[in-house]
Structure 1
Amino acid sequence: MEIERKFLITELPENLTQYNCRRIEQGYLCTAPVVRIRRQDEEYYLTYKSKGMMVREEYNLPLTAEAYAHLREKTDGNLISKQRYLIPLNETLTAELDIFDAPFAPLMLAEVEFSSEEEANSFVPPAWFGEDVTFSGKYHNSYLSCLKF
């Protein structure tokens, strides 16, 4: 089960380069239900996500580089690429700050995953977080993959 909140970011936190960063590329084989492939640095995954906004099922299966390359050719819509910074917020929570490449730039989103809905609902975001878009489907990557440019 994935429990997360999502926020628009308009101002980057200070000293961004001090945080771990991952390079991500992902494409969608299906958006209803969501079936996605992802390359994260040199790791590869196939992911299923159920319907939902803040709470939904998520299953990740490892892929080989060869399987990823094969499935990449079968994706629909836009391939999404972004940098993801992992920014600790406290002892238990981490913000995953995504800075999107073209054609989605200058879009920046931060996601925070929680262990319970109660924890998610009581979360007070840091000052550098913008609008809470947790319940807006138009900021799901699966939605972005379908946009026409």
Structure 2
Amino acid sequence: MEIERKYLIDQIPFDLSEYPSRKIEQGYLCTEPVVRIRRDGEDYYLTYKSKGLMVREEYNLPLTRDAYEHLKPKADGRIITKERFLIPLDDTLTIELDRFEGDLAPLLLAEVEFQDEDSANAFVPPDWFGEDVTFSSKYHNSTLSRI
């Protein structure tokens, strides 16, 4: 189960180069239900995500590089590329800040994953977070792949 809140980011009040990051490339074989392929550094995955906004089922299956490259041309819409920065928020939470590349630039989205719904509902975001888009499918990557 994936439980996360998502926010638009307008300005980042610190230097992102101080935090670890990795390149991600992903495409969508289907958007209802969501079936995604992803290259995350040197790791490759096929992911299924159920319907939902803040809470969704998510299953990740490993792929080989060859399988990923075979499936990539079958993706609908654009292949999304982004750099993901991991920013510690406290002892238990990490901000995953995605800086989108290509024609989705300069979009910045921050996601925070939680252990349970109560924690997600009680979350107070940092002051530099912008609009809460958790309950809007407009900013799901599967939607962004089609616009």
- The TM-score with structure 2 as length reference comes to 0.98
CA distance in 2: counterparts of 1:88 and 1:13, whole angstroms: 14
The alpha carbon displacement at 1:62 in A equals 0.5
Identity of aligned residues (%): 69
CA distance in 2: counterparts of 1:117 and 1:31, whole angstroms: 24
Paired residue secondary structure (2:120):
helix
- Alignment correspondent of 1:18: 18
Please report the RMSD computed on the Cα atoms of aligned residues, expressed in angstroms.
0.6
Tell me which amino acid in the other structure corresponds to 1:93: L
The gaps in structure 2 that reach 5 residues or longer are none
CA distance in 2: counterparts of 1:102 and 1:62, whole angstroms: 26
- The TM-score with structure 1 as length reference comes to 0.97
- Alignment correspondent of 1:56: 56
CA deviations over 1:8-31 (Å, ceiling 9, x no partner): 000114121111101000000000
CA distance in 2: counterparts of 1:26 and 1:80, whole angstroms: 5
CA distance in 1: counterparts of 2:33 and 2:12, whole angstroms: 32
Runs of 4+ off more than 2 Å: none
Tell me which amino acid in the other structure corresponds to 1:131: E
What is the number of residues matched between the two proteins? 147
The gaps in structure 1 that reach 5 residues or longer are none
CA distance in 1: counterparts of 2:66 and 2:88, whole angstroms: 33
